[in-house]
Chains A and B, each alone.
Chain A
Amino acid sequence: MTKSNLPRLELHIPEPPSRPDTPITFDHVNRGEAGAVRRPDIAEHESNMRDLPYELIRVLDDDNLAVGPWNPMLAPETLIKGLRAMVLSRAFDDRLFRAHRQGKTSFYMKSTGEEAISAAQSLALDKGDMFFPTYRALAWLHARNYPLTTLCNQIFSNAEDPLAGKQLPILMSARAYDFYSISGNLGVRFVHAVGWAMASAYKNDTKISLAYVGDGTTAEGDFHEAMTFAAAYRAPTILCVTNNQYAISSFAGFAAPERLPFAAKALAYGFPGIKVDGNDFLAVWGATQWAAERARTNNGPTLIEFYTYRAEGHSTSDDPGRYRPKHEAEHWPLGDPVERLRDHLIAIGAWDMDRHAAMEGETKEQVKVAAKEAEAIGTLGQSKPPIEEMFEDVFAEKDWRLKEQLRELKARRAARAETQGGAGA
């Protein structure tokens, strides 16, 4: 028993600011001021940048104009390209999410609200720089015009699935698009990005790497291992925390108690961390450019926290109304990334609502055509890659076990096709 003159200990359990039955509050969000944060020289020593994680880097101000030192000064055509990738990503998400409800795929996850991050980075980085994504980053592929029908084929796990039925829908791999293979486990690839960057440095190459984890995943050991390695070997990598406020139902306060910025975690490892408005296409681009220049000039890694909001559920298996207020997304203090870039383009006279509506209609149609093409090949269970694929790529060469098992499976199929006209085992 505790001695009576000592205070009794209390177990602390973090709790979010809002629940479905309480008022929506974002009082803890400090929007800062667009253009107000300094942009240090890329060769600046990390000890002179320790204030940065506590500021929010923004470029787009409340009048939709681009201001401050992080403005990447992009041509309107480039901005329109980025906008298109985001609008396309949203149209794609909308249709494929509904496809799940219609039984055409086993699983889907939307990126709604987070499109600016991977769209801007896809365009800002060079061909050959490798991206180690999470599952909410398909806008990277959309920005680089990955064929939509092929993407639908993967999501429908049909005969033309580019991953031959071996992986869950949207856990893509697209090496030709610098898009590393995603697994369903969290954080594991963060370290791969560091190793990849170390290899590039070892070979005196010029390529850098980029990796994402979510806010929740910063709790995994992999995150800390990646940070340690990146710092020790000064790896040419950009490590990003896409802080969308939620790990399924758990608010970000579990991984960052007392609202400490995730960007600040970099300080303890000895390299700079910056916190960036993830719903601001221009800020994402500007920050990425800065971190990329640092990496390319042997100034080492950067941790970027992209401050954003997961506007939809975690996946097709989730129901966010059970743990957060229903209309919370509409109140996110940093707005919607598509609308903000659209309004910026309008503000500089390079865009208008009619052209925007036309872009929405056109991307929607493009997705529809692609989905129909993929559906014609087949949806989940109606069409599959050849059965041999199931046994391929376990090893570089099949061993006796796999050869025997394939033979057994084929013999059973043949026998059953003869007697009952059906497969299945």
Chain B
Amino acid sequence: MTETKKMNMIQALNSALDVMMTQDEDVLVFGEDVGYFGGVFRVTEGLQAKHGLKRCFDAPLTEGGIIGSAIGMAAYGLKPVPEIQFADYILPAYDQLVSEAARLRYRSNGEFSSPVTVRTPYGGGIFGGQTHSQSPEAIFAHVTGLKTVIPSNPYDAKGLLIASIECDDPVIFLEPKRLYNGPFYGRPDEELKTWANSGLATAEVPVGHYEVPLGRAALVREGSEVTVLAYGTMVHVAAAGIAESGVDAELIDLRSIVPLDIDAITASVRKTGRCVILHEASRFGGFGGELSALVQERCFDYLRAPIERVAGYDMPYPHAFEWDYFPGPIRLAEALLNAVEYR
């Protein structure tokens, strides 16, 4: 019997790091405030005390420096797991990620590689304003050579993080901060649930080592009328929106957008004949555009309605208007009804 424990997402991520640091001394963790303090979201709490100062330490405030040095460590042969405190702060490291981490293997013809796993909290729903709320997955997905992983629950968070660290490619590991302590259904006035009292099986997490493979989507809900594609926080919002609409929708949690589980997407849309894509990032140029194109290319003959996208509006994350911007269950339900009522 695998021993399991109820964990929230923070504890599950902490456990993944702990398991990997215990198993492999080449795994090390660093970033702003991650050492003694344990990170502003507490994900690295206790790791310095347990594994030592040299395996979990603070970094100067320079995202380019953090990622650049992680790439150098990885090129040497380590498995660094740097943290960028908020995904909104990652842009000074964008050159290191795009021009270096993503291409080191290719340009050296396999002589060097960059197995860095960059953990970073992303997404809104916490009144974080423009610089603590963004969802930048599309700008990473666009870069060949980078993997982009987004868990939606504690079980996947731990298994995917372990798989990311064990993977030989650079991985951007986006943690939906709104889900750290409990699932969120897109209704800010509703009483919040913790993972422990959520009733969700995914809060039951094995204490030891396991992997959730990258590139394999999860079928969250089976349905016949329409396929909903979502990831991160939006998986739970989608579940709420489906219930709200009364539509018999199939919900797919992509879990990683690169690699993308194209087979799961194609099979589902061919079955349902309709597709609604939900993401929190702003709509124009968002990852939904890529998903929509893929579905259209591969399922054209099966489609019975135009593909719908539900997403954030095309503006910087607007602090006071958070819940007007946030694509919630009502907007999803509207899109689901549009899809099934299309003639």
A164, A167, A254: the one contacting B129 at CB < 8 Å is A167
**Stretch from A34-42, A113-121, A179-187, A348-356 forming part of the interface with B:** A179-187
Q: How far is the CB of B8 from chain A (nearest CB, A)?
A: 18
Per the bound structure, the CA–CA distance linking A11 and B65 in Å amounts to 17
Tell me the interface secondary structure of chain A in the complex.
loop
A387 CA to B325 CA in the complex, in Å?
A: 10
**Chain B contacts for A165, CB-based, 8 A:** 318-321
Cβ of A35 to closest chain B Cβ, rounded Å:
34
How many A-B contacts at CB < 8 Å in the complex? 143
B218 contacts A by Cβ under 8 Å: no
Interface residues on A, range: 35 or more
B302 contacts chain A at the CB level, 8 A cutoff? no
Complexed CA–CA distance, A137 and B316 (Å):
25
A390: B residues at CB distance < 8 A: 313, 315, 318, 321, 324-325
Q: Are A185 and B61 in contact (CB under 8 A)?
A: no
* Shortest CB distance A381–B (Å): 8
Partner of A166, one of B32, B38, B320, B330: B320
With a cutoff of 8 Å between Cβ atoms, the chain B residues found around residue A14 in the complex are 58
- Residues of the A chain whose Cβ atoms lie less than 8 Å from the Cβ of B321: 165, 384, 387, 389-390
A157-B320, A166-B318, A412-B334 are known contacts. Are A171 and B313 too (CB-CB below 8 A)? no
B65 & A219 in contact (Cβ 8 Å cutoff)? yes
Asked if residues A425 and B132 are in contact (CB atoms below 8 Å), the reply is no
- A394's partner among B128, B283, B314, B326 (CB-CB below 8 A) is B314
Q: Once the chains bind, are A248 and B319 in contact (CB under 8 Å)?
A: no
Cα-based distance from A247 to B32 in the complex (angstroms): 9
B320 in contact with A405 (CB, 8 Å): no
- Contact (Cβ within 8 A) B33 A405: no
Task: Tell me which residues across on chain A come within 8 A of B61, comparing CB atoms.
Answer: 186-187, 216-217, 219-220, 247, 250, 254-255
**Residue A285 at the chain B interface, CB threshold 8 Å:** no
A233 to B64, CA, bound (A): 26
User: Are A254 and B58 in contact (CB-based, < 8 A)?
Assistant: yes
Contact between B36 and A323, CB atoms less than 8 A apart: yes
Residues of A with C-beta under 8 A to B245: none
B37–A249 touching, CB < 8 Å: yes
CB distance from B92 to the nearest CB of A (A): 6
- The answer to whether A409 touches B324 (Cβ under 8 A) is yes
CA distance in complex: A164, B316 (Å): 13
Cβ contacts under 8 Å, A186 to chain B: 61, 89
Per the bound structure, the CA–CA distance linking A107 and B320 in Å amounts to 12
B159 at the interface (CB under 8 A from A): no
Instruction: Determine if A248 and B33 form an interchain contact, defined as CB atoms under 8 angstroms apart.
Output: yes
Docked Cα-Cα span, A167 to B129, in Å, equals 6
Which among B32, B38, B127 is the interface contact of A250 at CB below 8 angstroms? Answer: B32
Q: Is A194 interfacial (CB 8 A cutoff)?
A: no
Give the Cβ gap from A325 to chain B, nearest Cβ, in Å: 13
- In the complex, whether A168 has a CB less than 8 A from a CB of chain B is yes
In the assembled complex, B54 has its CB within 8 A of some CB on chain A:
yes
Residue A161 interfacial (CB < 8 Å): yes
Q: Which residues of B contact A217 (CB under 8 A)?
A: 61
Check A168/B128 contact, CB under 8 A, given A250-B33, A254-B58: yes
Q: For chain A, residues 186 to 234, give those with C-beta under 8 angstroms from any C-beta of chain B.
A: 186-187, 216-217, 219-222
The minimal Cβ–Cβ distance linking A344 to chain B, given in whole angstroms, is 35
Check A391–B37 contact: CB distance below 8 A. Answer: no
* Known contacts A166-B318, A254-B58; is-contact A171 B127 (Cβ 8 Å): no
B24-36 vs A, Cβ < 8 Å mask (1 yes, 0 no)? 0000000011011
How near does chain B come to A133, taking the closest CB pair, in angstroms?
Answer: 16
* In the bound complex, CA of A165 to CA of B129 (Å): 9
- Please give, as numbers and ranges, the residues of chain B lying within 8 Å of A318 by CB-CB distance: 40
A184 adjacent to B37 (CB under 8 Å): no
Interfacial chain A residues near B331, Cβ < 8 Å: 412, 425
Compute how far the CA of A257 lies from the CA of B293 in the bound complex, rounded to whole angstroms.
Answer: 51
Q: List A contacts of B128 (CB < 8 A).
A: 106, 168
B246 within 8 A of A: no
CB pair B132 A184 closer than 8 Å: yes
User: A333 → chain B, closest Cβ, in Å?
Assistant: 23
Q: How far is the CA of A385 from the CA of B324 in the complex (A)?
A: 12
Within the assembled complex, what's the spacing in Å between the Cα atoms of A165 and B53? 42
A102 within 8 A of B: no
Contact A401-B284, Cβ < 8 Å, known A322-B37, A425-B324 = yes
Contact A317 B40 (CB under 8 A): yes
- Does A421 belong to the interface (CB within 8 Å)? no
Query: How far does the Cβ of B86 sit from chain A's closest Cβ, in whole Å?
Result: 8
Contact B323 A13 (CB under 8 A): no
In the complex, which of the residues A185, A248, A401 contacts B32, with contact meaning CB atoms closer than 8 Å?
A248
Tell me, yes or no, whether A402 is within 8 Å of chain B by CB.
Answer: yes
Is the CB of B225 closer than 8 A to any CB of chain A? no
Instruction: Check if A161 sits within 8 Å of B315, measured CB to CB.
Output: no
Which chain B positions have C-beta within 8 A of A276?
none
Residue in B54, B187, B318, B319 with the greatest tally of chain A CB atoms within 10 Å: B319
Q: Is the CB of B60 within 8 A of A254?
A: yes
The answer, yes or no, to whether B59 is at the interface (CB within 8 Å) is yes
Contact with A along B270-291 (1 / 0, CB 8 A): 0000000000000110000000
Which residues of the partner chain A approach B284 to less than 8 Å between Cβ atoms?
401
Answer yes or no: B57 CB below 8 A from chain A CBs. Answer: yes
A contact residues around B318 at 8 Å (CB):
165-166, 390
Which residues of the other chain, A, contact B131 by a CB distance below 8 angstroms?
168, 183-185
Knowing A168-B128, A424-B328, say if A249 contacts B315 (CB, 8 Å).
Answer: no
Q: How far, in whole Å, are A127 and B65 apart by their CA atoms in the complex?
A: 38
Q: With the chains together, A250 CA to B36 CA distance in Å?
A: 9
Contact of A425 among B53, B59, B320, B323 (CB under 8 A): B323
Closest Cβ of chain A to B60, distance in Å, is 4
Q: Is the CB of B319 within 8 A of A425?
A: no
Interface: A339 (CB within 8 A): no
- Which residue of chain A has its CB nearest to the CB of B284? A401
Interface check A15, CB cutoff 8 A: yes
A102 to B318, CA, bound (A): 22
Look across to chain B and name the residue whose beta carbon is closest to the beta carbon of A105.
B127
Interface assignment of B22: CB less than 8 Å from any CB of chain A: no
Q: Does B130 contact A (CB under 8 A)?
A: yes
Interface contacts beyond A247-B33, A247-B61, A409-B324: sample of 14 additional A-B pairs, CB < 8 Å, sorted by A: A11-B54, A13-B57, A157-B319, A167-B129, A185-B131, A216-B60, A220-B92, A248-B37, A255-B61, A317-B40, A322-B37, A390-B315, A390-B324, A412-B334
A-B contact pairs, 13 of them (CB 8 A): A13-B35, A106-B127, A165-B319, A171-B129, A183-B130, A248-B32, A250-B32, A254-B58, A380-B127, A390-B318, A412-B334, A424-B323, A424-B328
